Structure 1
Amino acid sequence: MDITKEKIKRIGKIIFKNNSYLTTDNLKDLYHIINEFENDIEVDLITFSSETDSFCKGVNIEELVNYNEAESKIFSFLGQRLIKRMRNLKKIIISLVNGNALGAGFEIVLASDVIFATKRSMFGFPETNFGIIPGFGGTQLMSRKIYETFTKYLVFTGEKVTADNLFEKGIITKLFDNNDEMTNFFEEFAEKLKQRSVFAIGLAKEVINNGIEIDLEKALLLEQNAFTVAFASNDKREGMSAFIEKRKPKFTDRWEEFKKL
């Protein structure tokens, strides 16, 4: 699968092309691309999309059949490294799904912060059909987004489920009749996000993602600390002043700048 990157209107776009399969090489490419976008002060959010009939078919079994234990461990490591990086990024990641997202492709979708999909899209973990299990974090990401029994059903059966099904369960953020409708909505949604504080959004993402992993008492303390950090920011002063003065805020705090300190 070829992967291209674009930077348009402060959006870092990652686009899947050709056969929609993930490999060792393009997993490394994806990791470097999202790191590049994360550190680019001219990028506010990141998207995954596809120009093929499928969003991402996952892994080519004809290649995977030749892997031994060591090679499979490296492959899983690279996939999980990408998934963890997506979760740890301060910037919002949005998957725009139009077509099948299967196996590792579904895992990339699940690691995104926001998921938009067309009604024709299908999702699933087909790995048990091939004598293996999901290896890029699917069993863990899915069970953190929804109840354990549905995760087991998908993984055990290897069946595909519709976008409607996942929308009803709250996994898909918004559902669309076709790709044009989804693209138009996304453009409006992106403009709305770009008017918000990138710094505050990054804090919120960090608190939500990390809070899932710990007990409520510690999660509440995590939120309290992040809330306090927000009050030390320029964006807090600007946002509240703009509200009082009845004008649009001009947010300036950037995570890229904090990393240089």
Structure 2
Amino acid sequence: MDFGSFETLAIETSGGIATVTVNRPEALNALSGKVVEELARVCEELNRLGGTGTSAATTGIPGTADDGAWPVRGVILTGAGGKAFVAGADIRELTSMNADQAEFHARSMHAVTLALESVPVPVIACVDGFALGGGCELALAADFIYASERAQFGQPEVNLGLVPGFGGSVRLQQRIGLGMARELIYTGRRIDAHEAHRLGLVNRVLATREELLAAAAETIGEIATKSPTAVALSKRSINQATGRTTPEGLDIEARTFRAAFGTEDMKEGTTAFVEKRAAVFPGR
């Protein structure tokens, strides 16, 4: 995939993995308007994966693009410089905004996080250093969060007379429960990687940045051996069922299960199982 050029992001693709690095180390990778704009561009491109063809548009099944290609099988989201994943919003920019501009900035970041959630391949946030405020909220939009030993998480907006504006009041409670989300948001408290893991915010804790990125690549490699259409449909089903009642969620699951039966991957996977051989998924 050709992602183009960026001022605040570095994009690298290798072995079916796209690594998206927020690259403002001098500002601890703070989420300026430019970063948000460029993240939106990247997410737009990533959302074309496996679903750009006419058949995908008409059936709604990921992975039914005319060429059936999946050039990227997973995304790693991280930050440059070693001190921060993303330290938060760009406070210098915020101080110059009026209320209307602030709402526009928040809604722009909401669009980014929703687009990141809808990317049809797994997204792993690799947090090394600070993930505070907007940084924590960006990580929460990923499928998994892997953290290094020196990672720190928090929603410290109340310290500035602000509230979470990039999704923290919604997604944090989905990850760690309502009571703990309230406590972290009301106190503005920071937690380390191990506490974040205990609370269910983080999936894995690794010693170093190198181990962090290697573990994320290994997980994406494992997922890449599975049906890409099934993974994409599973992700969509989970996202759509979040926050719904049990009957509503089960209805979404049943309709997604039905959609899987329209894929070539399902035919190949079930046939391979019966024939006792490894499946070779076409990605359609």
TM range (shorter): over 0.9
Structure 2, unmatched stretches of 5+, are: 1-6, 50-69
Q: Which one of the candidate residues 6, 12, 21 is aligned to 1:15?
A: 21
Alignment of 1:220-231 (within 5 A): 220-231=250-261
CA-to-aligned-CA distance 1:20-71 (integer Å, 9 cap, x gap): 1111121011011022122143111111012222110111222211110111
CA-to-aligned-CA distance 1:110-141 (integer Å, 9 cap, x gap): 11101111121000111111111110111100
1:249 Cα deviation after fit: 1.4
Contact 1:12–1:37 (8 Å) recurs in 2:
no
1:181 Cα deviation after fit: 1.9
CA distance in 2, matches of 1:145, 1:181: 24
Contact 1:98–1:118 (8 Å) recurs in 2:
yes
1:183 Cα deviation after fit: 2.3
Alignment of 1:20-35 (within 5 A): 20-35=29-44
CA distance in 1, matches of 2:168, 2:215: 28
Q: Which one of the candidate residues 47, 69, 79 is aligned to 2:76?
A: 47
Letter in 2 for 1:66: S
CA distance in 1, matches of 2:244, 2:217: 35
Q: Secondary structure at the match of 2:262?
A: coil
CA RMSD of aligned residues (A): 1.4
Alignment of 1:1-261 (within 5 A): 2-17=8-23, 18=25, 19=27, 20-40=29-49, 41-52=70-81, 53-254=83-284
CA-to-aligned-CA distance 1:219-260 (integer Å, 9 cap, x gap): 101101111111221101111222222322111234xxxxxx
CA distance in 1, matches of 2:202, 2:181: 15
Contact 1:116–1:175 (8 Å) recurs in 2:
yes
CA-to-aligned-CA distance 1:136-162 (integer Å, 9 cap, x gap): 111100112222111111111111111
Letter in 2 for 1:36: E
1:167 Cα deviation after fit: 0.6
Letter in 1 for 2:212: M
Moved more, 101-110 or 46-55: 46-55
CA-to-aligned-CA distance 1:164-213 (integer Å, 9 cap, x gap): 11111222111111122222222221211111111101111111111112
TM-score normalised according to structure 1 size: 0.93
CA distance in 1, matches of 2:110, 2:46: 19
Cα distance change, pair 87–186 in 1 and its aligned pair in 2 (3 A): closer
Structure 2 partner of 1:259: none
Q: Secondary structure at the match of 2:97?
A: coil
TM-score normalised according to structure 2 size: 0.86
Moved more, 65-74 or 238-247: 238-247
Count of residues in correspondence between the two structures: 254
